[in-house]
Amino acid sequence: MRKTVANALMACFTLGLAGCATTDDALLKTVPIGSGTSTLATFDFVRCVKDRWTPLGGPVREYALGTDSQAVSVKGAGGASMVLVVAQPAARGTGYTIYGEIAASRYVTAAHVCD
């Protein structure tokens, strides 16, 4: 019984994670619009970016994008993400890449505040 419950929870978690990732797949296939490194740890960097992006408008979400990557994205008017930052642990903090429309430059500027 315990194993069945654990498997059901894992399936729900996997489906939920896949739902977040699939809306950002198109952005991940584009040329990045920004990148950098931060002295903050990965989770602290992601929290900082989320705090900076929230006042700019659009629903902001934070989620894991694999075992060692964290992501923050902002949904646009049509429901698809318009900007996405992917953060990974680096030797001295966090390395990150920003994907999105060129019109999302204010999000790039806001993310660099967290360097």
Give the tens place of pLDDT for each residue, 8-67. Answer: 334 333 434 444 445 688 888 888 999 999 999 999 999 999 999 999 988 999 999 888
> 55 is written with which tokens?
């006042």
Looking at residue 88, its pLDDT comes to 96
- The predicted model scores a pTM of 0.77
Sheet holding 34-38, edge to edge: 34-38, 93-100, 81-90, 70-75, 60-64
Looking at residue 22, its pLDDT comes to 53
Catalogue all structural domains in the chain, each as residue range(s) with its CATH number: 23-112 (3.30.160)
Do 6 and 14 touch, CB atoms closer than 8 A?
A: no
Burial of 93: CB neighbours in 10 Å, binned 0-12, 13-18, 19+ = middle
CA 79, 48, 33: angle at the middle one, nearest 5?
55
Q: Is the pLDDT of residue 102 over 70?
A: yes
